[in-house]
A and B are shown apart, each in its own frame.
Chain A
């Protein structure tokens, strides 16, 4: 064929044209003209043009009805009417006009009405006023903030600490500062809402493991390792994090930190530890769950806690190595784009730290009281205690649910109201039912503080027992 092609010369082509029969030429000509026409004609649309006319658009705009901005809330929604506390929410609290002993505020170390704290805050108020009028970057950094960060870092024996002006925003800003889209986070199913929001803001891949179940976590990490081997290039840039709480708010249990640290080094994932409830509670000196288990604090990449529980102030902090913490000074949204903590609250937190350092025996006292009431509340008919014996915030859940969450909530509310009538202030644990990933069952939260005397603990136990019997029969 190649040789034939070489022999093709233009003259011979023209000759072939002359020698071809007429019908052949005409047919070829018509076909060529048809092809040219098809090439240049407009495309054939099967449907009519879908552009709307101006009139049709206006009609659509007229017709469109949005949903109401908010759905109506029924008058007897359980969360609509708040309990009103008259006066300070301290050990003896006046709720809805009734005087009660406070078993509901997270005032673990009883520092809410401590005179030293008040004096320190007052001194700060007299020096700085109330507000800071600026974010940390723009003249909102006071020497008090730097002091507090320094003290927290020294107390927790880490290199650096950073404070936020709101407890919720602390972990919710810290997680998205490190974990971005494409990174993987392994988080416990019972994680609190602030962690969930932080994870949502980070847009990372979330993998949930069963509560405190290290085998489940191991399985997930192993699966991830197998995935990584399939795609090593991607694995080299995907960061891995494990987010756990020291003492879980929703269940009152402590995380198994030693196993977690082992898993960390085995699978090369970083640990973020949320210690809002365990800071100032666990450990010999109140340093939290790392001290409780005797783990080197440098093994934990980030510890985040809020100052609203044990320190009886407002705000939160993160502490850890400078390599990790310093990043939040530019990337933590709640730090950069929000006004700094009012100095009087920072001064109160510093004083609370002083008190904690001067009286290391209060932690042992608190543990004792927790154990006592935990034992006293065992065996109440109809209610079961959920939480560790040394946890100062634990839950009382219905032993047998009625089957409907609303009815459970009503029953528990009845118990709470009757306890308040008898002078024990309790509260139900509140959740956003539609927003939580793993909604915990309804429960009453009982909080133990160092200020509660033995008689008061006894009284609480007997009151709850009696009321439960009456209500639940």
Chain B
């Protein structure tokens, strides 16, 4: 039983009847004995931390992939690839019907739009399990959701909607951490009022004539929520990163980016033209080495000193569910005079005793983080992103951010939703609803945490489990890493990052049980 970083010890999760203990693999063929299970459990890496910087113990454990599972996964991919070549051959010689769309007759002699191999994966591997993604829903993405039933009669090449709706599925797949995505209640009423008054669109950019009084109000509120001097908001979370990082750094600067950073951070870093160096995930030794080498040796070849060094980290990494080692990063940043860009897309509203994010969680000073970025999509049930920091930073972004000059501003009802939900979390709406939403999250995520049902599953069986589960009343979503650098991904659902605080405890237990009974 791990000590919860909040200081409270939580009850050991109740295991349902068929559930396996951590470290065991049960697939009907191999059952690891108790001794090796204990040894496997010992393989959970407890990464040591720099004790002096952490006010409370910080334990993160990640399971190692068992050797058998790893080998079988690769074998599985190999088999699928062989079959893929066979099917391509059959399709080419028209023995098998070709389901996917092809180029027009008039353009057949153009250079082909897709390289053959680019689409090999899509045609032959992804198509088999395609039904696990893009499932349409037709209700609020709350604790329970209605999924539209769809069937495929040609092995996932095309889908038909039967018209039925699978009602009341336990939702373990939406990023609705605090339950603000709802169609009733004060947020929705406020948003409805603003919609009536302001309409839906804005039709202009912030610098031209799209800056509404609502936007100014929101920005002041965000600044006070985060505890920073000023803030600026943008229409899309992804675009916040990809359009503002290029405004902050340019050629001659260095970006140190975590291995598992989100695609938007990677795109923003690439578009900026700065040099990018990647450090191992959450590994402070790797980061320190890179910082030292960067300052001592300067730019490659010319040896000129770097203009600026920017460290890109996220609050919670959506791919692993790990939390950044913020005290250590800040200590390093101060020692080496680098700047810190913290992307709190998942952690804002969800971490910390007052919901102020990972800075609050570690009890640190928001002024230590140079650029605090986050999105409103997850905890606030809206859309858009923000950047908070010192006034000079925000003034600069107001004049030089790509989004302020060329992209439309946030829609007014969405702004109102953010304002209302933020005020609720801060307790400024006169109720205690906000704080009451925050406390169950750590309990629930321990209840199902990494150790238990983040079941290792290789490709086919994982998605088979996902295929069955909506029919059994719960809807996890398999992680699909396109780069496929790590074919052994955790099954995402109950790893804490998708938990909706309004989900009932019984539902969580039910999900965990379902999961265990379907994983290998």
Contact = CB atoms under 8 A, between A and B. Distances in A.
Interface stretch (B263-271, B279-287, B437-445, B509-517): B263-271
B216 interface: yes
A314 B239 CA distance: 14
A268 B395 CA distance: 47
A446 to B, nearest CB: 12
A321 B411 contact: no
A104 B390 CA distance: 31
B199 A113 contact: yes
B447 interface: no
A77 interface: yes
Contacts of A308: 201-203, 408
Given A167-B407, A268-B110, A348 B135 contact: no
Contact of B399 (A79, A117, A194, A333): A79
Interface string B193-207: 001111111111111
B514 to A, nearest CB: 17
Contacts of A136: 134
Contacts of B216: 84
B101 A69 contact: no
B342 to A, nearest CB: 14
A126 B192 contact: yes
A14 interface: no
A117 B200 contact: yes
A270 B112 CA distance: 10
A365 interface: no
Nearest to A82: B211
B200 A146 contact: no
Nearest to A145: B136
A430 B207 contact: yes
Question: Which interface residue of A130, A139, A345 has the most chain B CB atoms within 10 A?
Answer: A130
A344 to B, nearest CB: 6
A69 B308 contact: yes
B239 to A, nearest CB: 5
A334 interface: yes
B496 interface: no
A314 B408 contact: yes
B250 to A, nearest CB: 9
Interface string A318-351: 0001111011011001101111011011001000
Contacts of A309: 203
Interface of B: 101-104, 106-107, 109-115, 122, 126, 133-142, 145, 147-148, 171, 173-176, 180-183, 187-188, 191-192, 195-213, 216, 235-239, 242-243, 248, 262-264, 267, 270-271, 292, 295-296, 305-309, 336-339, 370-371, 375-378, 380-383, 392-393, 395-400, 402-408, 411-414, 417, 475, 477, 480, 482
B191 A130 contact: yes
A339 to B, nearest CB: 4
A129 B183 contact: yes
A427 B203 contact: no
A200 interface: yes
B213 A69 contact: no
A8 interface: no
Interface of A: 52, 57, 60-61, 64-73, 77, 79-80, 82-90, 93, 95, 102, 104-107, 111-114, 117-118, 121-122, 125-134, 136-143, 145-146, 165-169, 172, 178, 192-194, 197, 200-201, 235-240, 265, 268-270, 298, 301, 306, 308-309, 311-314, 321-324, 326-327, 329-330, 333-334, 336-339, 341-342, 344-345, 348, 425, 427-432, 435, 445
Question: Which interface residue of A83, A132, A428 has the most chain B CB atoms within 10 A?
Answer: A132
Contact of B292 (A61, A127, A238, A268): A61
B173 to A, nearest CB: 4
A133 B378 contact: yes
A131 B145 CA distance: 14
B296 A57 contact: yes
A66 B198 CA distance: 45
B137 A80 contact: no
A165 B203 contact: no
B396 A130 contact: no
Contacts of A239: 111-113
A137 B263 CA distance: 15
Contacts of A122: 192, 195-196
Contacts of A73: 392, 395-396, 399
B111 A432 contact: no
A314 B308 contact: no
B381 A432 contact: no
B237 A140 contact: no
A105 B200 contact: no
Contacts of A57: 292, 296
A118 B140 contact: no
A341 B195 CA distance: 16
A166 B111 contact: no
Contacts of A197: 243, 271, 402
Contact of B111 (A60, A143, A238): A238
Shortest 8 CB-CB contacts between residues of A and residues of B: A166-B236, A70-B396, A338-B238, A323-B101, A82-B211, A312-B201, A168-B407, A133-B174
Contacts of B336: 61
Contact of B414 (A80, A130, A140, A321): A130
Nearest to B165: A143
B381 A240 contact: no
Contacts of B107: 268, 270
B382 A342 contact: yes
A266 B138 CA distance: 47
Nearest to A60: B296
Given A82-B206, A129-B140, A338 B264 contact: yes
A79 B339 CA distance: 26
Contacts of B305: 64
Given A66-B308, A67-B307, A118 B199 contact: yes
B185 to A, nearest CB: 9
A165 to B, nearest CB: 6
A166 to B, nearest CB: 4
Nearest to A178: B113
A134 B381 contact: no
A83 B207 CA distance: 7
Contacts of A326: 101
A326 B99 CA distance: 13
B413 A344 contact: yes
Given A131-B180, A139-B475, A143-B138, 13 more contacts: A79-B399, A84-B212, A85-B212, A89-B203, A104-B209, A105-B210, A121-B195, A129-B381, A130-B191, A323-B102, A329-B134, A342-B383, A342-B414
B493 to A, nearest CB: 10
B181 A133 contact: yes
A439 to B, nearest CB: 12
Contacts of A102: 209
A238 B110 CA distance: 10
A315 to B, nearest CB: 9
A117 B147 CA distance: 26
B413 A130 contact: yes
A240 B111 contact: yes
A313 B200 contact: yes
Contacts of A77: 399
